[in-house]
A and B are shown apart, each in its own frame.
Chain A
Amino acid sequence: MILTNIEQVPGKRIVAHYGLVSGSTVRAKHVGRDFMASLKNIVGGELKGYTELLEESRKWAVERMMTQAQELGANAIVNVRFSTSSVAQGAAEIYAYGTAVTVEDA
């Protein structure tokens, strides 16, 4: 599965479009991480627990999007976008979406 965030796949030709595919996860901070983060908040700097959480949830969202594309018979997703929004206090959504296509060597 090839992913790009431009309209085509460089070096390849798009032969079929399958429309929009998307994946999302809603993540919440868990208590332990929250506690460590609140300690780290005093001195500032990177909050590693949250960075990992963000990375994990991004991977999940992308994976769900890729599964959807595979079910459609696509072998690439173009024009992928990410969007984050906070649903409630302490929980946030990460949403990945793109267009499933089939590409061939040009």
Chain B
Amino acid sequence: MTELVALLIRIALPLLVVVLAMITGTICERRHFQAIARREQALGGLPALTVKEYPADRPVSSARMVTGSVVVSIDHFKRFLASLRNIFGGEVRSYCSLLDRGRREAILRMKESCPDADLIINMRVETSSVSQGAKKTLGSTEVLVYGTALTFADQAV
């Protein structure tokens, strides 16, 4: 009897954690994506380009480096899905959404750090994995975004 209870606990407890992680993780992620979409809409007037050229005929009043960074991780359920993917191969969708989330958040933070700028040029994205999760799976990812923010002295035409 006690063995049965012990077995039940051993199986049910991790399962419970995974199910809870799935529910809260999914809700959190959906909210985050909604917030990202809303903020991207609000910051639509500040484009970030990956080229180094800028309109040479406009006088520049200030140029400075801006950065944005974030560390995000995925929930246990998605990590479990990813480990299943490892058996069959193919695209790991649960990690795609994690990286997408991290990059967009970092870009938004960079833009929010310079609301007075007119243009961000030479934007670069640096991604790396900070901590290795259990059993060498990707635990979390850090994204560092940087670029040069320009403010023009004249009004936009």
Interface residues of A (CB under 8 A from B): 2-7, 9-11, 29, 34, 37, 40-47, 50-51, 54-55, 58, 80-86, 89-90, 92
Q: Which residues of A contact B130 (CB under 8 A)?
A: 29, 50, 54, 86, 92
8 Å CB contact of A50 from B54, B64, B78, B142: B142
Q: When the two chains form their complex, are residues A4 and B75 in contact, meaning their CB atoms are under 8 A apart?
A: no
Q: When the two chains form their complex, are residues B70 and A46 in contact, meaning their CB atoms are under 8 A apart?
A: yes
Q: Which residues of A contact B64 (CB under 8 A)?
A: 2-4
Q: Which residues of B contact A41 (CB under 8 A)?
A: 73, 76, 133, 139-140
Q: When the two chains form their complex, are residues B65 and A84 in contact, meaning their CB atoms are under 8 A apart?
A: no
8 Å CB contact of B132 from A81, A82, A89: A89
Q: When the two chains form their complex, are residues A3 and B65 in contact, meaning their CB atoms are under 8 A apart?
A: yes
Instruction: Tell me if B82 is interfacial: C-beta within 8 Å of chain A.
Output: no
Q: Which residues of B contact A45 (CB under 8 A)?
A: 25, 28-29, 32, 72-73, 75
> Please, how many angstroms separate the alpha-carbon atoms of A80 and B132 in the complex?
29
Cβ of A82 to closest chain B Cβ, rounded Å: 6
Instruction: Tell me if B17 is interfacial: C-beta within 8 Å of chain A.
Output: yes
Q: Which residue of A lies closest to B28 (CB)?
A: A45
Q: Which residues of B contact A2 (CB under 8 A)?
A: 63-64
Show 14 residue pairs from A and B whose CB-CB distance is below 8 angstroms, ordered by the A residue.
Answer: A10-B63, A11-B63, A34-B131, A37-B73, A41-B76, A42-B76, A43-B20, A43-B76, A44-B28, A45-B25, A46-B105, A47-B71, A51-B70, A54-B71
Q: When the two chains form their complex, are residues B126 and A82 in contact, meaning their CB atoms are under 8 A apart?
A: yes
Q: When the two chains form their complex, are residues B148 and A6 in contact, meaning their CB atoms are under 8 A apart?
A: yes
> Please, how many angstroms separate the alpha-carbon atoms of A58 and B145 in the complex?
12
Q: Which residues of A contact B142 (CB under 8 A)?
A: 50-51, 54, 84
Number of interface residues of B (CB under 8 A): 47
Q: Which residue of A lies closest to B54 (CB)?
A: A10
> Please, how many angstroms separate the alpha-carbon atoms of A61 and B12 in the complex?
47
Cβ of A87 to closest chain B Cβ, rounded Å: 12
Instruction: Tell me if B124 is interfacial: C-beta within 8 Å of chain A.
Output: yes
Cβ of B65 to closest chain A Cβ, rounded Å: 4
Instruction: Tell me if B84 is interfacial: C-beta within 8 Å of chain A.
Output: no
Interface centre among B29, B60, B130, B132, by most chain A C-beta atoms within 10 angstroms, is B130
Q: When the two chains form their complex, are residues B140 and A37 in contact, meaning their CB atoms are under 8 A apart?
A: yes
